[in-house]
């Protein structure tokens, strides 16, 4: 109940911030506040209902539309071909199922799934904190995850919370030698977010640390782990003849395969490049990744931490990188590690307080309609 109460309290704070921001929305609304008359895309899901609208901005319409009418891709779309195929299928499939039970209320279904998945992920993360440290560090770990600046996405109509719960659960199950369950959860994760591919080598590392190179019958379950991604690629090939069509949509936003280390240092070579909040946040997360590396976290978890940090940088740009940082749960364990020391515990809780202030600021930008930092 403590985790649920803490999460609910932070959501209440964000709702208050959102209601304040509601009165200061920018007068010239970008495309997500109206219907595009050329394409017919309806970007605003609950424009006259502030308590719903504040959680359904930007890309939320894509998940809702997939849940209601399925995927589409228009080769004739102007100025460039476009469609909803960049969004992976598990989350909208769940929205469709729960929405059916709720009488077609897909927006409410999506928000319900996100918040329940977030609570499940935090409970699993608390168990990780107990296993790795003690009760005080576990609470600090969960508080850091809930209050992280991009933490509004735990409750928004986005798949981040679902991916977090699945990834934490998969790794925990593998450490407990439940190979079948771990691989099944990984398959679901790869059907949720592309960065779930980071789980595949990490599961293998955990398995090798447990049984060495000696193959076992249970290892056949590793064939199941990537089926979420492969199944989606097979669907894209069957329908549009291109198994990686989702990557082509990403190129419209300037994403392309790049050396992640070059993406990381590029802002240092540009005037004012490091002053952008997303860049500053990325460097801060790098510090947490290094901290996680220096602590006594299991080696496979450190590898996972680095992979999840580098994967979005491999796209060559910083757009939306804060969403991937959000699900990188080892960084919260690193903050929780500060709770193991009486002197550093105050620093850890100070970070949590700062995180929550920044999350309220992001909520303000989110609701007013300004670009996310």
- The Cα 172–Cα 308 span in angstroms is 17
- The Cα 327–Cα 204 span in angstroms is 20
Residue 41: per-residue pLDDT: 60
Please give the model's pTM, rounded to 2 decimal places. Answer: 0.93
Contact 158, 59 (CB under 8 A): yes
- The Cα 312–Cα 337 span in angstroms is 25
Q: What is the DSSP string of 187-238?
A: HHHHTT-GGGGGHHHHHHHHHHHHHTT---GGGGGGGTTTHHHHHHHHHHHH
Nearest to 68 by CA among 47, 49, 41: 41
Q: pLDDT tens digits for the chain (373 residues)?
A: 899 999 999 999 999 999 999 888 876 555 455 555 555 566 677 777 889 989 998 889 999 999 999 999 987 766 667 889 999 999 999 999 999 999 999 999 999 999 999 999 999 999 998 988 889 999 999 999 999 999 999 999 999 999 999 999 999 999 999 999 999 999 999 999 999 999 999 999 999 888 777 778 888 999 999 999 999 999 999 999 999 999 988 887 778 888 998 989 888 887 767 778 888 999 999 999 999 999 888 999 999 999 999 999 998 888 889 999 999 999 999 999 887 777 788 888 999 999 999 999 999 988 888 766 5
By the 10 Å C-beta count (0-12 exposed, 13-18 middle, 19+ buried), 116 is classed as middle
- The Cα 305–Cα 202 span in angstroms is 10
Give the pLDDT confidence of 232-247 residue by residue, as tens digits: 999 999 999 999 999 9
Contact 321, 279 (CB under 8 A): no
Nearest to 330 by CA among 185, 114, 144, 136: 144
Nearest to 88 by CA among 108, 62, 69: 62
Nearest to 350 by CA among 340, 338, 359, 366: 338
Question: Could you say which DSSP state residue 80 is in?
Answer: S
SS3 96: helix
Nearest to 328 by CA among 226, 201, 199: 199
Contact 162, 169 (CB under 8 A): no
Half-sphere exposure of 49 (CA within 13 A, CB side): 9
Nearest to 55 by CA among 95, 112, 103: 112
Q: Are strands 82-83 and 73-74 parallel, antiparallel or unpaired?
A: antiparallel
- The Cα 234–Cα 302 span in angstroms is 32
* Alpha carbon distances (Å) from 201 to 160, 247, 301, 354: 21, 21, 11, 34
Give the pLDDT confidence of 195-236 residue by residue, as tens digits: 999 999 999 999 988 877 777 888 899 999 999 999 999 999
């Amino acid at each position: 109940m403590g985790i649920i109460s803490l999460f609910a309290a932070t959501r209440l704070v964000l709702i208050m911030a959102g209601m304040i921001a509601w009165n200061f929305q920018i007068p010239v609304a970008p495309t997500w506040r109206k219907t595009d008359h050329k394409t017919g895309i309806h970007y605003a899901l609950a424009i006259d209902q502030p308590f719903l609208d504040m959680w359904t901005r930007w890309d939320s319409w894509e998940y809702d539309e997939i849940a209601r009418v399925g995927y589409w891709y228009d080769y004739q779309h102007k100025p460039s071909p476009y469609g909803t195929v960049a969004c992976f299928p598990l989350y909208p499939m769940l929205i469709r199922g729960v929405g059916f039970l709720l009488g077609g209320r897909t927006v409410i279904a999506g928000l319900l799934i996100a918040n329940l998945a977030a609570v499940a992920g935090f409970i699993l993360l608390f168990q990780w904190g107990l296993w790795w440290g003690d009760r005080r560090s576990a609470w600090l770990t969960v508080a850091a995850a809930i209050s992280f600046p991009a933490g509004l996405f735990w409750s928004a109509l986005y798949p981040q919370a679902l991916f977090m719960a699945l990834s934490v659960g998969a790794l925990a199950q593998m450490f407990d030698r439940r190979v079948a369950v771990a691989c099944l959860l990984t398959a679901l994760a790869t059907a949720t977010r592309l960065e779930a591919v980071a789980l595949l080598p990490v599961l293998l590392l955990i398995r090798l640390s447990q049984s060495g190179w000696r193959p076992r019958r249970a290892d056949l379950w590793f064939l199941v782990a990537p089926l979420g991604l492969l199944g989606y690629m097979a669907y894209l090939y069957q329908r549009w003849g291109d198994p990686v069509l989702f990557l082509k949509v990403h190129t419209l936003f300037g994403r392309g395969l790049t050396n992640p280390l070059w993406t990381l240092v590029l802002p240092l070579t540009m005037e004012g490049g490091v002053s952008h909040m997303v860049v500053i946040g990325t460097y801060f997360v790098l510090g947490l990744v290094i901290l996680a590396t220096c602590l006594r976290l299991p080696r496979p978890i450190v590898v996972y931490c680095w992979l999840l940090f580098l994967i979005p940088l491999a796209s060559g740009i910083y757009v939306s990188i804060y969403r991937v940082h959000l699900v990188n749960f080892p960084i919260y364990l690193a903050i929780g590690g500060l709770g193991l020391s009486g002197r550093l515990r105050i620093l850890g809780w100070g970070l949590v307080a700062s995180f929550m202030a920044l999350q309220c600021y992001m909520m303000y930008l989110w609701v007013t309609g300004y670009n996310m930092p």
